[in-house]
C-alpha cells in the first residue's frame, strides 16, 4: 500500500509544528503539463517503437498520486471527532517531487543517524563525458562498474596519502568509507549521469593498544592529488568501456547506445534528445531551447591554484571543495538531502502566457543563463530520461560503510531508540491507533522512519495531534482502491471526481533523428 502523500515546503527547524495540510497536485504546473500532454507524447512515441512498461507506469502512477479519488485514509481525532482525509502517494522514484522528496528525507535521516560516523566528511562530485551519459542512463551494470571505479581510485588515493602522512607500514592498514549517490539529470533536466560521493575525509586504523578502530583525518587533497584520481579513474573507465566495445575518445563515442536503439528505440530517442539538451517538438525541434539570461553575466574564473581540489582529465571532472564536520549532524543531514534530491522542484517550474514552461536553474550558468524555455512535450521527454530503469540502484556504499564490511559495526553510529517501524492500517474499518513519534519498539533491528515522523521532522507538520483540540489521531478507514475511495468520499458527502482533463491541442508530431 502506498504511503500517504505529504505536503510541500520545508520550514526552518526552529519553527514550531503546524497543522497538516494536504497537498493538491492537480493545481500544480507539472501535473497539469503531464496530464495534458502525456497521452500525446505516448501516442507519438508509439511510432518510434513505444516506451517500456516501467516508464508508462511511472507517468500513470504520478497522475494518481495525491488524489483522494485514487485512494485515501480517513483519520479521526478522538477528543473532538474532527476528521481528515489524507491521499495516498505513488511511491515512485522517477520524477514525482512529493514522493522523491519523502525518499530524500528518509534516506538523509538514515544516513545521518545510522551510517555516517562523527568524523569529517568530504563531498566529491564526479561528472562524466557527454558521450557516455545516455549509455550509463540505461545500462545499470555499466553504471555500477563506473561508479565503483571512481570509488576504488578514491580509496586508493586516501590510503596512499595516509601511508605517507601517518607513516604506515602498508596501505592495507588504512580503511576508508564512502556513500555514492547517482544523479541522472542536471538542473536543466538534461540526461547527465553523475555521482555525488560522501567520503570520510581520512582513514580508520586499528590501534595496537586498545584494538579499536581510530579515525585519522587527512589534509585537504591538492589539485595534483585530485587530478591523479581523475586520471586513474579515466583509465579504469577506458578499460571498462573497451570490454563493452566503447571508448572515452570523443571521436569514437556515440550519443546513444546501439543496443538500446535496437531494444527500445523510443526510449533511446528520448535519451539522446535529453542528453543533447535539444527539443523534439515545436519550431525549435533539433535545437537547444531558448535561454533567459541575467544581465550582466557573472564573471567566472577558471584558474585553479595548486591547493584547489578540482580537476578534469579526459572528460572526467572532479570537485572536492566542500567538507563537513561530522559532529554537525544538522549540516550533515542537509548535505545528504542535497545528494539524494529529486530531479525537479515544483517551485522551479512556471507556466508562461504563450504556453511554454519556464524552468529556472538552480544556479546561474557561466554564460549567464538563469532559466530555459521548454515546450510541455519536451519537458516530458526529459522526465522520461530521468526515470531510472528497474534495479538501477541510486545509492551505493563502499569501504567500512558497506553492509558486507566486517568493520561496519565498529564505525557506524548506533540507531536511535525511537525508530519505530511504520505499519499501515488494515483495509477494513477497524480502528487502529497511529504510533506516537516517541514510541518505543521491542524490535532491536534498525528501521526507517514512518511518514508522520518525517512530516514532523522535515516540514514541522503535526499529523498526530488535532489542530482544534490537540487530541491524538486514530486511523478509521483505509481506501486503497478507486472503488473504495469513491465509496468513502460518497459516505462523507464529497464528490469523487478526478481533476478535469484539459482540452487536447495538437502541437505537431515529435521529431527525432537520433536512432
> CA quadruple 10, 14, 15, 20: dihedral positive or negative?
positive
Whether the Cβ atoms of residue 6 and residue 454 lie closer than 8 Å to each other? yes
Residue 173: what pLDDT?
Answer: 95
Beta carbons of 52 and 267 less than 8 angstroms apart: yes
Torsion of CA 109, 113, 117, 123, to 10 degrees: 0
Sketch the domain layout of the chain as residue ranges.
Answer: 18-96+421-491, 116-409
Q: Report residue 123 as a C-alpha cell.
A: 563531498
Judged on CB neighbours under 10 Å (0-12, 13-18, 19+), 439 is middle
DSSP 457: I
Per the CB < 8 A criterion, the answer to whether 501 and 258 are in contact is no
Per-residue pLDDT of the chain (515 residues; tens, 9 = 90+): 445 554 333 333 333 455 667 788 889 999 999 999 999 999 999 988 889 999 999 999 999 999 998 888 888 877 777 788 888 889 899 999 999 998 999 999 999 999 999 999 999 999 998 888 888 888 889 999 999 999 999 999 999 999 999 999 999 999 999 999 999 999 999 999 999 999 999 999 999 899 899 999 999 999 999 999 999 999 999 999 988 777 776 655 554 455 666 678 889 889 989 999 999 887 888 899 999 998 765 665 555 567 899 999 999 999 999 999 999 999 999 999 999 999 999 999 999 999 999 999 999 998 899 999 999 999 999 999 999 999 899 999 999 999 999 999 999 998 766 544 434 444 433 333 334 434 444 444 445 677 667 766 766 666 667 767 767 777 788 888 888 988 888 888 887 666 666 655 555 666 665 44
At which residue does the C-alpha cell 573507465 appear? 237
Closest by CA position to 74, among listed 494, 422, 461: 494
| The pLDDT value given to residue 508 | 61
How far, in Å, CA of 51 to CA of 270, rounded?
Answer: 10
Q: What is the pTM of this model?
A: 0.85
Q: Calculate the CA 145 to chain-centre distance.
A: 20
Cβ neighbours for 235, distance < 8 A, ≥ 6 positions apart? none
Q: What is the pLDDT of residue 285?
A: 85
Amino acid at each position: 500500500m502506498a504511503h500517504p502523500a505529504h505536503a510541500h515546503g520545508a520550514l526552518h527547524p526552529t519553527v514550531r509544528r503546524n497543522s497538516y495540510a494536504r497537498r493538491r497536485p492537480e493545481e500544480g504546473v507539472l501535473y497539469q503539463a503531464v496530464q495534458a500532454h502525456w497521452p500525446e507524447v505516448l501516442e507519438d512515441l508509439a511510432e518510434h517503437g513505444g516506451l517500456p512498461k516501467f516508464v508508462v507506469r511511472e507517468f500513470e502512477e504520478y497522475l494518481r498520486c495525491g488524489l483522494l479519488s485514487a485512494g485515501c485514509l480517513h483519520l479521526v481525532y478522538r477528543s473532538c471527532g474532527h476528521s481528515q482525509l489524507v491521499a495516498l502517494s505513488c511511491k515512485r522514484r522517477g520524477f514525482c517531487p512529493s514522493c522523491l522528496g519523502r525518499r530524500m528525507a528518509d534516506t538523509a535521516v538514515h544516513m545521518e543517524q545510522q551510517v555516517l560516523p562523527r568524523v569529517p566528511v568530504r563531498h566529491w562530485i564526479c561528472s562524466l563525458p557527454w558521450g557516455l551519459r545516455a549509455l550509463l542512463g540505461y545500462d545499470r551494470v555499466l553504471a555500477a562498474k563506473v561508479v565503483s571505479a571512481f570509488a576504488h581510485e578514491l580509496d586508493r588515493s586516501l590510503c596512499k596519502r595516509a601511508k605517507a602522512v601517518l607513516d604506515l607500514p602498508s596501505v592495507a592498514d588504512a580503511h576508508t568509507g564512502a556513500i555514492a549517490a547517482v544523479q541522472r539529470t542536471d538542473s536543466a533536466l538534461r540526461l547527465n549521469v553523475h555521482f555525488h560521493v560522501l567520503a570520510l575525509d581520512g582513514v580508520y586504523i586499528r590501534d595496537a593498544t586498545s584494538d579499536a578502530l581510530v579515525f585519522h583525518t587527512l589534509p585537504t587533497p591538492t589539485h595534483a592529488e585530485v587530478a591523479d584520481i581523475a586520471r586513474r579513474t579515466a583509465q579504469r573507465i577506458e578499460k571498462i568501456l573497451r570490454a563493452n566495445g566503447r571508448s572515452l575518445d570523443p571521436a569514437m563515442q556515440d550519443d546513444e547506445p546501439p543496443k538500446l536503439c535496437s531494444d527500445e528505440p523510443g526510449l533511446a530517442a528520448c535519451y539522446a534528445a535529453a542528453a543533447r539538451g535539444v527539443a523534439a517538438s515545436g519550431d525549435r525541434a533539433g535545437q537547444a531551447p531558448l535561454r533567459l539570461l541575467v544581465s550582466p553575466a557573472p564573471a567566472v574564473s577558471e584558474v585553479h591554484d595548486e591547493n584547489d581540489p578540482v580537476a578534469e582529465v579526459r572528460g572526467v571532472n572532479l570537485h572536492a571543495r566542500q567538507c563537513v564536520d561530522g559532529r554537525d549532524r544538522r549540516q550533515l543531514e542537509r548535505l545528504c538531502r542535497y545528494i539524494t534530491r529529486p530531479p525537479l522542484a515544483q517551485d522551479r517550474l512556471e507556466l508562461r502566457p504563450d504556453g511554454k514552461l519556464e524552468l529556472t536553474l538552480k544556479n546561474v550558468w557561466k554564460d549567464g543563463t538563469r532559466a530555459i524555455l521548454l515546450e510541455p512535450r519536451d519537458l516530458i521527454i526529459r522526465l522520461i530520461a530521468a526515470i531510472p530503469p528497474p534495479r538501477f540502484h541510486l545509492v551505493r556504499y563502499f569501504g567500512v560503510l558497506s553492509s558486507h564490511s566486517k568493520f561496519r559495526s565498529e564505525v557506524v553510529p548506533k540507531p536511535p531508540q525511537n525508530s519505530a517501524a511504520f505499519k499501515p492500517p488494515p483495509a477494513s474499518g477497524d480502528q487502529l491507533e497511529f504510533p506516537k513519534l516517541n514510541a518505543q519498539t521491542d524490535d532491536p533491528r534498525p528501521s526507517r522512519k514512518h511518514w508522520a515522523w518525517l512530516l514532523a521532522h522535515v516540514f514541522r507538520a503535526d499529523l498526530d495531534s488535532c489542530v482544534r483540540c490537540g487530541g491524538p489521531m486514530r486511523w478509521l478507514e483505509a481506501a486503497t482502491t478507486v472503488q473504495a475511495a469513491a465509496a468513502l468520499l460518497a459516505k462523507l458527502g464529497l464528490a469523487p471526481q478526478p481533476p478535469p482533463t484539459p482540452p487536447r491541442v495538437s502541437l505537431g508530431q515529435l521529431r527525432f533523428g537520433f536512432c
